[in-house]
Amino acid sequence: MDRLRGWLKEGYGRKLKRLHAWNAWTVLLLAVSGILLSLEAIRGPLGIVRVWLKQAHIVLGLLSVVLLALYVPLIAKHLRQLKGRSPQQWNLGIVLLMLAGWSVSGLLLWQLRQLPPEWSSAALFTHDLFTWVGVPYALYHSVSRSRWLKREEARERQAQAAGRRSRLLEAAAASGKPAAEAALPRQPWESHRLSRRTFVRLTAAGVLLAALGPAFYRWLKRATDDGGSALEAYAGGSDGNRMLPPPEPQPASVTPAGGGAQGHFREYTVTRIPSFASDNWEFTIKGLVDHPQRYSWEDFLKLPRTVQVSDFHCVTGWSVYQVTWEGIALSQLLELAGVKPEARFVKFYSGDGVYTDALSLEQAAMEDVMVAVLIDGMPIPQTLGGPVRLVVPKMYAYKSVKWLQAIELIPKEHIGYWEARGYDNDAWVKGRT
């Protein structure tokens, strides 16, 4: 607190300089932590590291908001200082826009559990967009405004001034006039001379555009996919699963009852994506049941299926709407097995050998909780959890276990993979319960 009071008593120039430095370091740490959060490597055994990193990212984001608030009283004086300097004014405007966009969208994502999914989806898109644009701009700004480049620019100006004086003296000697009256002959290349700073700026911009432009285009195309176009990309692609025969879709799936999924699935996993073949795949229901069940792939496909349309929400902020699922109602599977009175919870096992989660019997009895085999009329792709996955539409997707292969009825609550690493066991999506 004493340091803050001391900072508040400092002059305008020192305040501005300190804020610039603090903000630069904060943006750098936010960029690094944000990139690390997107890596698959920290979703498996390092899952707890991801939770800590996410909390650090949130704290840094809040610090960035505080720094922006501390700058607000200085804006008017700073703008007067930059009067008549258009490049600096434009740069300040761009930086403030980026910081404001990051701050508002970041705050919304921080509180996404309290907001409708539509808000969190828009906030995630905005946050990602500002990151795709803001991080390259920050890199460009760092290079173009670096101390090294400023020193080189000063040396270049000194060399140009020295050369100009030398040519002026030569012109004076040739004309017999004093140096002050001599006319300096115009060099044809001077008006088209490319300064070192301009060259470095153009080079930095070109490198960033070449390195990130294609990736940005692919992200933007995926982020704006709708009308099922995101799922169509899986239809003709290679899939690691070899499940024969494929499930035959019902009429409501062949032409998806939901009109085609709207949005783009992001592929998350805590292990390497597993693959399955129908000749050794099996599905079991065990634990506190009267009739334990074991199904081969062909037996599983003989179970009566239903079709439902629901939205799919991830706790990281993205959503896919109007997804048409076809599968077996979980309540139907539990009825076939016969749940014993002492059972209180349903535990789900992923075929990756690592991931588990659970629902209470009351939650498992919801009519839209499904063990799905088809999505929009096609087999669920391997990368989206196929051949079989759990679908719990009213909860965030970490409850919808991918590569589902076993169900166990248990007497006590089970803490799932992400819940054990800090996620809330209460996974209800606001407005969907």
What are the pLDDT digits (tens) for 280-338? 999 999 999 999 999 999 999 999 999 999 999 999 889 999 999 999 999 999 999 99
Q: What percent of the chain has pLDDT over 70?
A: 82
Q: Read off the tokens for 248.
A: 């035959």
Confidence check: pLDDT of 177 > 70: no
Residue 246 clears pLDDT 60, i.e. is over it: yes
Distance, CA of 369 to CA of 348 (rounded, Å): 13
Average pLDDT over residues 226-246: 72
Residue 235 pLDDT level (bands cut at 50, 70, 90): low
User: Which pLDDT score is estimated for 234?
Assistant: 65
pTM of the model: 0.77
Please state the CATH superfamily assignment of the domain spanning residues 242-421 in this structure.
Answer: Oxidoreductase, molybdopterin-binding domain (3.90.420.10)
Which pLDDT does position 121 carry in this prediction?
86
Does the pLDDT value for residue 178 go beyond 70?
Answer: no
Highest mean pLDDT among 116-120, 148-152, 366-370: 366-370
Average pLDDT, integer, range 275-284: 96
**CA dist., res. 312 & res. 320, Å (int):** 5
State the Cα torsion 15-16-18-21 to the nearest 10°. 170
Position 141 scores a pLDDT of 79
Q: 3-state DSSP call for residue 146?
A: coil
pLDDT at 140: 83
In the predicted model, is pLDDT for residue 404 greater than 70? yes
Predicted confidence (pLDDT) at residue 44 exceeds the cutoff of 70: no
Question: Nearest Cα to 103, choosing from 121, 127, 125?
Answer: 127
Q: What's the pLDDT score for residue 103?
A: 94
Whether residue 150 is predicted with pLDDT greater than 70 in this model: the reply is: no
The residue extents of the domains of the chain are 2-148+195-223, 149-184, 242-421
Confidence of residue 356 (pLDDT cuts 50, 70, 90): very high
pLDDT averaged over the chain?
Answer: 86
Cβ(171)–Cβ(184) below 8 Å: yes
pLDDT value of position 50: 81
Are 70 and 19 within 8 A, CB to CB? yes
Q: Please report where in the chains the tokens 């693959």 appear, as a residue.
A: 275
Mean pLDDT, residues 336-365: 97
Q: What's the CA gap between 150 and 142, in Å, rounded?
A: 12
Q: Which residue has the higher pLDDT, 37 or 401?
A: 401
On the CB side of 313, CA atoms within 13 Å amount to 26
- Give the model's pLDDT for residue 219: 74
Q: Which residue has the higher pLDDT, 28 or 219?
A: 28
Higher pLDDT, 223 or 291: 291
79-83, 97-101, 282-286, 301-305, range with the lowest pLDDT = 79-83
pLDDT at 217 over 90: no
Percent of the chain residues topping a pLDDT of 90: 50
Best CA proximity match to 135, nearest among 110, 108, 99, 103: 99
